[in-house]
């Protein structure tokens, strides 16, 4: 069965991300991983403006040098190969109204869902869920005291590129421990719902 353009495009993009995180192509994954880490480590030492300016200067230095080199080479060899970046200049990079609408719809969906969840948690629609959220926020106060935002982002990137490989290698053991932890948490939450007035879910 043929899928629609949006579904095929999303599936293709998702598959590429999965391949990168699972190091299917070591060269591409290593290049992306190293570039992102280098950018984040640069941000720990310099301001965002400085990092952006240095990246732009480095890119311009490379492209201008290559353009001048190709122009001199063509003049010496008396050839007319045209602009060295002609193929890239002719690539269409503008987003269509359909693409913009699709991404706006996705953002709107996530924003609405997040707002509804926050309202549900802060207004204690479910007491146990609100308690779990409070515990999470309390733990984050300690995390925030130990790490700043950039450090957490670096750790997140390292985890994104390492955890999938670890999970593939030790999937059985990890699933077993996660199942045990989930069972214990569900048991504790069940006891809390039984003992705390108003903690039971409405559908119960």
Asked if 189 and 128 touch (Cβ cutoff 8 Å), the reply is yes
Asked if 1 and 133 touch (Cβ cutoff 8 Å), the reply is no
What per-residue confidence (pLDDT) applies to 168? Answer: 84
Chain segment 137-160, per-residue pLDDT in tens: 999 898 888 888 888 889 899 998
pTM of the model: 0.60
3-state DSSP call for residue 83? coil
Closest-CA residue to 132 (of 202, 176, 178, 196): 196
* Residue 77 scores a pLDDT above 50: yes
Q: Any idea how long the chain is?
A: 204
Q: Give the angle 123-129-114 at the CA atoms, nearest 5°.
A: 65
Chain segment 80-132, per-residue pLDDT in tens: 777 888 888 888 888 788 888 888 999 999 999 999 999 999 998 888 888 88
Instruction: Quote the mean pLDDT of the chain.
Output: 84
Buried b (16+ CB within 10 A) or exposed e, 14-30: eeeeeebbebeeeeebe
* Residue 10 scores a pLDDT above 60: no
């Amino acid at each position: 069965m043929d899928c629609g353009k949006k579904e095929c495009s999303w599936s293709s993009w998702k598959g590429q991300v999965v391949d990168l995180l699972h190091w299917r192509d070591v060269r591409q994954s290593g290049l992306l991983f190293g570039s992102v880490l280098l950018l984040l480590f640069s941000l720990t030492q310099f301001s965002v403006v400085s990092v952006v300016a240095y990246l732009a200067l480095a890119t311009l230095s490379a492209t201008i040098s290559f353009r001048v080199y190709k122009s001199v080479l063509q003049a010496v060899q008396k050839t007319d190969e045209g602009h060295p970046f002609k193929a890239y200049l002719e690539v269409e990079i503008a987003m269509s109204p359909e693409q913009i609408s699709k991404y706006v719809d996705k953002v709107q969906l996530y924003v609405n869902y997040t707002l509804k969840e926050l309202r549900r948690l802060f207004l204690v629609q479910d007491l146990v869920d609100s308690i779990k959220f409070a515990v999470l926020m309390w733990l984050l106060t300690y995390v925030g005291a130990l790490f700043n935002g950039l450090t957490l982002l670096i750790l997140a990137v390292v985890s994104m590129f390492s955890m999938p490989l670890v999970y593939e290698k030790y999937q059985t053991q990890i699933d077993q421990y996660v199942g045990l932890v989930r069972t214990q948490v569900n048991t504790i939450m069940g006891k809390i719902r039984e003992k705390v007035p108003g903690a039971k879910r409405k559908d119960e």
